[in-house]
């Protein structure tokens, strides 16, 4: 009996020892790094303070500072790989277990989680020396089906150890929350950017594309005449068809010129018109009921957040921003004013005098590229665009001219053409004496 009790006691002690080894306190596991991994860490340590393009300067717990990021490309397409370069500074030592949490908030409420340990999981923050600057890159492929629109990167620090134990993370306190944009829950806004559509569902025919080469110092005086030298280098649509794509024969015609200088878009219009009618005088009236020229601009190439701009021969403007096809209704959409829009018209004839014979009118329109949602003029950038002209005769409905055959729905942007931007400045050889 005594030997049995001794054996039972030994078994209990042995079991307790095993359980203590299995479930007791553990020392943190330290990775054994290869030479290549050690080199990656050494290369991530900077000797001078970095100067990122997108500065954040978020102070977490007076221990770690997110200085900022660089991002390439700046305005990616859905499905494209993006490289984010992170810049940090260690202020003082931290305990093990802290990780970077990253929320990439895509348009329409979709989120991508990009949590990580710095330098490809190799260099946790508890190993950083106080005062040290750390730089590393993170690559992520955007969701292929991401909607076009505004995206935002949010970030912060959380304890992975607490998350593992409780299923919810403890975030490091954002100390300077009154100096950086944040959500009140120790999460800071790192950067905002535009996501463009992965592909256009309907590609226009070759003759529905315009390639624009930048015009240097266009020096265009907006007077409606188009007599400056710069207009000779503009892309030309020689003659619009009717709204159903059929040729317009005879004297009635409309031509359009388009150019850019990297900052502004310029549109020049020449229209023959035997009876010029434009009696409306107030901005955002129903100009389409009279003679008018219309431009539709879709910078995101998806039929969303697009502009409608109309200018009448009386140089009266209608401008509107639609969230999607004809939404909101036009009176609400017209509350939007396109910043920096300028226009001028030259009438060859008499305005609003019936019974005589006019010859036509010409028009110049200048629009800042920054006023077109989603548009950034870079090499190869595309802008979906359509042009219409309403030609009214003797107060009754006349004929609609069009570049893309929108039929009875001018807002059908799947029928629009595409402008492709070139940014390389043409080399002009000097004249020989």
pLDDT of amino acid 163: 54
pTM above 0.85, yes or no: no
Rg of the chain over Cα atoms, rounded to whole angstroms, equals: 31
Over 60: is that where the pLDDT of 429 sits? Answer: no
Q: Quickly state the pLDDT bin for 211 (edges 50, 70, 90).
A: confident
Strand (E) or helix (H) holding 38: helix 35-44
With H, G, I as helix, E, B as strand and everything else as coil, classify residue 23. helix
Identify the H or E element spanning 88: strand 81-90
Say if residue 426's pLDDT is above 90.
no
- Scored b (16 or more CB within 10 A) or e, 204-240 reads beeebebebbbbeebebeeebbbebebbebbbebeeb
Question: What was the pLDDT predicted at 31?
Answer: 58
% of the chain exceeding 90 in pLDDT: 67
The whole-angstrom separation of Cα 159 and Cα 170 is 5
139-148 residues labelled b (16+ CB within 10 A) or e (exposed) = ebebbeebbb
pLDDT digits (tens, 9 = 90+) for 100-112: 999 999 998 889 9
Rounded Cα gap, residues 430 and 433, in angstroms: 9
Sheet holding 342-348, edge to edge: 235-237, 254-260, 264-272, 360-368, 342-348
Measuring CA to CA, which residue among 149, 123, 145, 154 is closest to residue 136? 123
| pLDDT of 425 | 58
Domains and CATH numbers, the chain: 36-195 (2.60.40.770), 206-421 (2.60.40.1190)
pLDDT tens digits, 126-135? 999 999 999 9
DSSP string of 104-166, one letter each residue = EE-GGG-EEE--B-HHHHT--GGGPPTT-EEEEEEEEEPPTTPPSEEEEEEEEEEEHHHHHHH
Contact 144, 78 (CB under 8 A): yes
pLDDT 10s digits, 315-349: 999 999 999 999 999 999 999 999 999 999 999 99
The yes-or-no verdict on residue 354 having pLDDT over 70 is yes
Please tell me the distance from the alpha carbon of residue 230 to that of residue 8, in angstroms, as a whole number: 100
- Write out pLDDT tens, residues 62-99: 999 999 999 999 889 888 999 999 999 999 999 999 99
User: What does the buried/exposed string (b/e) look like for 308-326 if buried means 16 or more CB atoms within 10 Å of the residue's CB?
Assistant: bbbbbbbbbbbbbbbeeee
Question: H or E stretch including 41?
Answer: helix 35-44
Q: Which residue has the tokens 């403890």?
A: 170
Burial of 412 (0-12, 13-18, 19+ CB in 10 A): middle
Average pLDDT, the chain: 86
Q: Can you give the pLDDT at residue 197?
A: 74
pLDDT in tens, 228-243: 988 988 999 999 999 9
Residue 168: pLDDT above 60? no
**What's the pLDDT band for 305 if we cut at 50, 70, 90?**
very high
């Amino acid at each position: 009996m005594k030997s049995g009790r001794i054996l039972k006691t030994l078994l209990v002690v042995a079991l307790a020892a095993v359980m203590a080894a299995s479930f007791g306190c553990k020392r943190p596991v330290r990775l054994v790094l290869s030479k290549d991994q050690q080199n990656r860490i050494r290369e991530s340590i900077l000797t001078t303070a970095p100067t990122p393009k997108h500065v954040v300067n978020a102070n977490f717990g007076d221990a770690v500072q997110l200085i900022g990021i660089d991002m390439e490309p700046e305005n990616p397409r859905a499905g494209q790989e993006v490289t984010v370069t992170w810049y940090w500074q260690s202020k003082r030592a931290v305990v093990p277990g802290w990780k970077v949490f990253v929320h990439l908030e895509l348009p329409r409420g979709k989120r991508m989680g990009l949590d990580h340990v710095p330098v490809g999981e190799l260099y946790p923050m508890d190993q950083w020396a106080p005062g040290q600057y750390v730089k590393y890159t993170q690559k992520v492929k955007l969701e292929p089906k991401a909607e076009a629109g505004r995206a935002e990167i949010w970030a912060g620090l959380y304890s992975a150890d607490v998350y593992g134990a409780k299923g919810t993370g403890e975030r490091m306190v954002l100390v300077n929350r009154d100096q950086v944009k944040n959500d009140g829950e120790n999460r800071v806004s790192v950067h905002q950017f535009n996501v463009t559509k992965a592909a256009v569902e309907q590609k226009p025919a070759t003759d529905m594309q315009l390639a624009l080469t930048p015009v240097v110092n266009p020096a265009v005086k907006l007077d409606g005449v188009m007599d400056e030298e710069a207009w000779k280098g503009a892309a030309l649509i020689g003659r619009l068809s009717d709204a159903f794509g059929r040729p317009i024969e005879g004297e009635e015609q409309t031509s359009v010129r388009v150019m850019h200088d990297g900052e502004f878009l310029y549109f020049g219009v020449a229209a023959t018109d035997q009876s010029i009618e434009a009696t409306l005088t107030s901005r955002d009236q129903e100009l389409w009921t009279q003679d008018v020229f219309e431009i539709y601009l879709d910078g995101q190439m998806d039929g969303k957040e697009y502009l409608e701009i109309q200018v009448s021969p009386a140089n009266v403007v209608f401008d509107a921003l639609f969230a999607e096809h004809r939404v909101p209704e036009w009176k609400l959409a017209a509350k939007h004013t396109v910043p920096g829009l300028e226009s001028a018209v030259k009438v060859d004839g008499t305005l609003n005098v019936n019974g005589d014979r006019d010859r036509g009118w010409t028009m110049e329109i200048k629009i800042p590229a920054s006023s077109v949602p989603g548009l950034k003029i870079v090499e190869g950038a595309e802008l979906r665009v359509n042009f219409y002209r309403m030609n009214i005769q003797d107060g009754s409905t006349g004929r609609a001219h069009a570049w893309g055959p929108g039929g009875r729905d001018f807002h059908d942007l799947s029928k629009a053409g595409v402008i492709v931007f070139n940014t390389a400045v043409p080399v002009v050889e000097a004249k020989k004496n």
